[in-house]
Amino acid sequence: MKLVIVGLGSIGKRHKQNLELLGHEVISSFGKADGFLICNPTSKHLETALQLIKFDLPIFIEKPLSHNLDNIDQLKGNILVGYCLRFDESLKKFKKTVPAKGIKSIKIVCQSWLPDWHPQTDYSQSYSAKKELGGGVLLDLSHEIDYALWFFGPVKKVSAKLQMAPELNIETEAMADLNLEFFSGVKAEIHLSYASRQPARFCEIKTSDQVLRWDFQPNNEMYLEEMRHFINVVNNKEIPLVTVADGRRVLDVIETAKINQV
């Protein structure tokens, strides 16, 4: 397969390396491509996608789908949204252990220290730190929102507390505490942070008789599996596991969280 990647930042480079590892070719000629990957800053995702739709080829859009809901309904075609945790083997196994009933509490955490993400670069100039590029923890760390919806279904109510971090001196929200109430009746707390010097990424679910916990372990295999799936989408062997509708539901939660701040 021949793929064009738009945006070769850290995630674009990872996808390029993985596609080449899997035996595919990353090219620069749009007219010779079998599919496209959009890995530029979040605020450019939709604009880029709408330009590429005319080729009528499969498109991979790195998460999140966009920085807001404007014109999302114009996205048509065979599109996979890049929520890579859907491809993490340990999270898939954990999902199977979650009971359908009897859940008392759900705590989801993703916290880190933003300057440690890419130590060789100035974090304050990264897209994470810039409003106009679609930064901020709600969008940047939205994997956690996506898998909460994947696990527990549609959301009924959303409220949130958003905070800046003066010590980071960035334009975007550095911390978010979300409370989600699902139509299934369960409630989840999600904590997202750029401003913690104690990195953690986990999901803890308490039932009446047990505590279930998943801790993320960094791995490249989930990214490889994500690219294998996209290649199968390109070859018409599979349909996108994470759809535009899924990406929109995440943005719905984010937009509601911004409105319903406590």
CATH 3.30.360.10 in the chain: give the residue spans.
86-216+251-259
Dist. CA 55–CA 46, nearest whole Å: 15
What sign for the dihedral angle of Cα 43, 235, 13, 191? positive
Asked whether 178 and 149 are in contact (CB, 8 A), the reply is no
| Span 14-68, pLDDT tens digits | 999 999 999 999 999 999 999 999 999 999 999 999 999 999 999 999 999 999 9
The whole-number pLDDT of residue 109 equals: 99
CATH 3.40.50.720 in the chain: give the residue spans.
2-83+222-241
The whole-number pLDDT of residue 251 equals: 99
| Span 10-24, pLDDT tens digits | 999 999 999 999 999
DSSP character at residue 116: G
Asked whether 154 and 182 are in contact (CB, 8 A), the reply is yes
| Span 91-130, pLDDT tens digits | 999 999 999 999 999 999 999 999 999 888 898 989 899 9
Measured in whole angstroms, the distance separating CA 53 from the mean position of its chain's CA atoms is: 21
Reduced to 3 states (helix: H, G, I; strand: E, B; else coil), residue 54 is helix
CATH of region 86-216+251-259: 3.30.360.10
Task: Please identify, in words, the CATH class of the domain defined by 2-83+222-241.
Answer: alpha beta
Reduced to 3 states (helix: H, G, I; strand: E, B; else coil), residue 229 is helix
The whole-number pLDDT of residue 127 equals: 83
Q: Residue 21 — φ and ψ, nearest 5°? A: -60, -35
Amino acid (one-letter) located at 115: P
pTM value? Answer: 0.97
* pLDDT greater than 90 at residue 262: no
| CA nearest to 91, candidates 108, 114, 103, 105 | 108
